[in-house]
Structure 1
């Protein structure tokens, strides 16, 4: 699915975007027949309202889009998208009403109303198309929409059609599209090349575990992205109950978001040396599955006591992060659907992140606000380090007690990064209910904020 702007050469209907507080002033400048039509229609400028105003021959003269109240807009990422979804099929161009600093995000939200996951049945996305307004970077906005489409499609695809094989194919397709290199270490070769945790977590599944690596760019700072690619998580021998297993097709949301971010970086030609690492596995149950009480040795040499086989994501990320750190990059970013504790802390709408770099954290927070991709900093709280040290091994993959689960998971991952700057996202990657510009289902969380912040963080 391609989400793009309409050609400027297409006939289009002028669109006035009108907030509730501005409607009366706007009507004062209109002829009486327009005022009468608007009043008779019941249009108030409420968010999500849309109105076509006809000419005498019945063809559209203009359209109005309700922009709501400022207090309501503050609660939505893409308030104009609500009206875009209500507009009749056709092509439109904005002539007034959208603040300049909101225009790019509103255009992105409009494009995203056209998203539908239609692999298995026909869907009905919004049909109103938009001509890119003057002053926006149309190519960049289309690149963001394409990356979001990739992420959503990957997360929405069920595990029957999105195992490690298919995740590898998606990475290879992306690499081919942008002239990147892609390589894979698979099955028992993981042991031969010292990725024992990735192998251990995935060895019980029908599709072999693997480490996918993609590289792109020859100049600029070194940026390494690491994405959790657990294509389905049964919980292993600590088997999840049915309700907890129902959304586990999205346990590869970290990998999906990393691929989406990589697509943005390559499409916008960001001057970095990009490396993407995705440990792709299924956490399944079989006679050779790893067990509670096992003690495993990681690529870095740290030993890990397994106290819950359902805390497998941090294990596969540990080996990938150790490899990332060996390359001495300027920045490592990991993304993972890692803990339910993060959802309890910030809910499904915010992307919590961890970093020791205050400057990078400020840049990312500002970028999240600018790009309608909200993020929230969480602490690498040093006193909790003792909670992940079981005594019998260097690390505990699932500390008892239930406190600070997202923080202890982040602290666990940080143990596998040395001197490299490191940032970790513990994301949900799922939209629980439909919202303007966001269909229910898979969702990108964090990539737009990261892309916007990278020039400041890496001094590009």
Structure 2
């Protein structure tokens, strides 16, 4: 179901948004006629509370609780909690929602309408639609909601239906929609095209590994997005335990996120030369699997000692980043579900990012707050460079010791990102483990809205 605003407000119920501290004044003023009804219903204006108000011929309006400041600080989209509690129908904001949060809350309302129904039979869920609030850029909000829906759909699809070939098909469909070009290098051709790390990681799987390369636009600065497309990660010969393998359909979350971001950029027709690179593989186990102790030579010529086949994401990204930098893009972004260390550091909600570009870092933090897309800056900490240098090869894909795992992974990628004007790496989770207002359990976009707002300044647009 498309995540869109209701087309008009002629039949939409007026919705009053009430903070807890404003409820008493409303009941003494414009809501006085409904005081007995509201008090009898036990409505206290808490987050997630909603109430229809009676009229002569049916509902005259509705109330949505907005809680207090402390409660709102704990929810990314407080109004979405009320949206889920209201009966199906169309609503228009009448009063009470601060103008400075209207766009963000409208986005959360659209997010609350998402459902992944590919494998479920039955009628569609009745919609709770919102008329676009005044002053809100409705088209922009709908574009952001559509990008989120694309990302969620891709991540939520199980690996049996979202292997490298299916991920390629999804990328091709997006490219066709916007008249973008797409080239795909598959299987043994990866070796002849000097993409050996992508080939090594994916060669054991039933579906051939591949590099997906989308281009859109032929004028303006170069912007390249690189997304990890490991469609399922067994861990390879360093096999994951069952508990750790259960969510590995989401290990292509980096690819899903860059496709969502690319969709927005192409919809908005940025004057850039956009390139999207997705190494799409499955890290499987067979006689052809790469082994612990192997030393692989990357596209850049740097050799890598494989000390853990479950640290495969940085390998496939390395070749893609090296390829990207051969064109000297003004901005380069990599997104990947890369390390458990990032989750241990900041949990599932925050998206850690790394960049040496101070302007980009500041813009990302600003846009993250504006769009309820929380990120957290982490350092390319140079003293840890020695941890990724094993001695027998140029680089180690899995340093021993267990310290600073997200940082050392970022430093590894940084070696392959030389030549870009500005580089940012996101170590994301791409998954919402527990349902929350506007954020159902399942696949999630992280950092996409922050990047969409921050990149134009970096590119001089």
Bin of the TM-score, shorter chain as denominator length: over 0.9
What does residue 444 of structure 2 align with? Answer: 443
Deviation at 1:268, TM superposition (A): 2.0
Instruction: Name the TM-score, length of structure 1 as normaliser.
Output: 0.98
Deviation at 1:125, TM superposition (A): 4.9
Deviation at 1:357, TM superposition (A): 1.0
Give yes or no for contact 2:26–2:32 (8 Å, CA) kept in 1.
no
Deviation at 1:277, TM superposition (A): 0.1
Give yes or no for contact 1:10–1:91 (8 Å, CA) kept in 2.
no
Deviation at 1:182, TM superposition (A): 1.1
Q: Deviations over 1:101-150 (max 9, x none)?
A: 11111001101111011011148756211011111111111111111000
What does residue 62 of structure 1 align with? Answer: 61
Structure 1 segment 369-388 matched on structure 2, within 5 A: 369-388=369-388
What does residue 351 of structure 1 align with? Answer: 351
What number of residue pairs does the alignment pair up? 459
Give yes or no for contact 2:5–2:132 (8 Å, CA) kept in 1.
yes
Structure 1 segment 40-119 matched on structure 2, within 5 A: 40-57=40-57, 59-119=58-118
Structure 1 ranges of 4+ moved more than 4 A: 122-126
Structure 1 segment 186-197 matched on structure 2, within 5 A: 186-197=186-197
What does residue 155 of structure 1 align with? Answer: 155
- Structure 1 Cα separation of the partners of residues 266 and 43 of structure 2: 43
Q: Secondary structure at the match of 1:17?
A: strand
Structure 1 segment 414-425 matched on structure 2, within 5 A: 414-420=414-420, 421-425=422-426
Give yes or no for contact 1:85–1:127 (8 Å, CA) kept in 2.
no
What does residue 21 of structure 2 align with? Answer: 21
- Structure 2 Cα separation of the partners of residues 328 and 128 of structure 1: 47
What does residue 129 of structure 1 align with? Answer: 129
Give yes or no for contact 1:182–1:215 (8 Å, CA) kept in 2.
yes
Deviation at 1:273, TM superposition (A): 1.4
Deviation at 1:95, TM superposition (A): 1.2
Tell me which moved more, 182-191 or 3-12. Answer: 3-12
What does residue 242 of structure 1 align with? Answer: 242
Does residue 400 of structure 2 align to residue 409 of structure 1? no
- Structure 2 Cα separation of the partners of residues 111 and 141 of structure 1: 8
- Structure 1 Cα separation of the partners of residues 165 and 360 of structure 2: 35
Q: Quick one: structure 1 residues 188 and 88, their matched pair in 2 at CA, closer, same or farther if it must change by over 3 Å? A: same
Give yes or no for contact 1:47–1:83 (8 Å, CA) kept in 2.
yes
Structure 2 residues without counterparts, runs of 5 or longer: none
Deviation at 1:440, TM superposition (A): 0.2
- Structure 1 Cα separation of the partners of residues 271 and 409 of structure 2: 32
- Structure 2 Cα separation of the partners of residues 280 and 404 of structure 1: 27
- Structure 2 Cα separation of the partners of residues 231 and 48 of structure 1: 36
What does residue 119 of structure 2 align with? Answer: 120
Deviation at 1:9, TM superposition (A): 5.4
Tell me which moved more, 22-31 or 132-141. Answer: 22-31
Structure 1 segment 303-382 matched on structure 2, within 5 A: 303-382=303-382
What does residue 432 of structure 1 align with? Answer: 433
Q: Secondary structure at the match of 1:68?
A: coil
- Structure 2 Cα separation of the partners of residues 193 and 89 of structure 1: 54
Deviation at 1:18, TM superposition (A): 0.4
Give yes or no for contact 1:235–1:284 (8 Å, CA) kept in 2.
yes
Tell me which moved more, 24-33 or 228-237. Answer: 24-33
What does residue 200 of structure 2 align with? Answer: 200
Q: Secondary structure at the match of 1:160?
A: helix
Instruction: Name the TM-score, length of structure 2 as normaliser.
Output: 0.98
- Structure 2 Cα separation of the partners of residues 308 and 390 of structure 1: 13
